[in-house]
Chains A and B, each alone.
Chain A
């Protein structure tokens, strides 16, 4: 890569980090929503 190695590798590394963050945040969001509903449904089930 010569003198441009830092710039090129930085861009590819940043892209990998952003893609991992996007995937991680999407999973976390789904898990949180699912858990919140699970807690509510189970609480309702206990009171019934």
Chain B
């Protein structure tokens, strides 16, 4: 097991494996999103309270879930890099940040568009989940700004890892904010005692979308980590050999 992990953590090995894995993540991701979009838009019945506006859930929930998961992945990778000094872990953390920021932006934007017809407002500063999700976006921006501000890659890795770990405290705040404080957001619908509070005709497309988004996120992350690994290893012999062989271009 450890031998496999060590081999995978080797940059040249990861670079080659990731190239093959990308399509294994992208294909099921696209299929699941295709099914989820069709079933969510045209098969699932309208919600008895929100009507067709509830269909925004099929993009808003996966984006919001991934915005938090991405941050946890970034913090854990940064922590592994900081403690065990695994270079690939820092590369993963650096590659996750822009993706996490995009998905957080998507969660905020789709939530805002949903809020307009349901709450009568695009934004509500008093809502703890909206505010803590916005803080998450700023944490991603801060992480990327800090990395860009430091020339030395190893120093940037260490400083940004500390920020990523400290900022991780915001993730449970986002998740539990609807239980801890009064919020415009509804309470937990999927992960709750007694099972999901949704009809299966609405639930299955949502699960497909969440899984599909996760696969696509994996494919995007692999592509970004490959670029990050290539950049960090640009002066290594294996990269020179790779370039001269003309392989590894895609």
Contacts and interface: CB of A to CB of B under 8 A. Distances in A.
A21 B59 CA distance: 16
Interface residue range, chain B: 35 or more
Contact of B63 (A7, A15, A23, A34): A15
A29 B226 CA distance: 10
Contacts of A5: 52
A37 B234 contact: yes
B contacts with A: majority SS = helix
Contacts of B117: 3-4, 7
A contacts with B: majority SS = helix
B240 interface: yes
Contact of A15 (B106, B227, B230): B106
Interface string B148-174: 000000000000000000000000000
Contacts of B99: 22
Interface in A1-25: 1-5, 7-8, 10-12, 14-15, 18-19, 21-23, 25
A19 B116 CA distance: 23
B248 A34 contact: yes
Interface of B: 37, 41, 51-53, 55-56, 58-60, 63, 98-99, 102-103, 105-106, 109-110, 113-114, 116-117, 216, 220, 223-224, 226-227, 230-231, 234, 239-240, 243-244, 248-249
A-B pairs, 6 with minimum CB distance: A30-B227, A4-B53, A26-B223, A15-B59, A11-B110, A29-B227
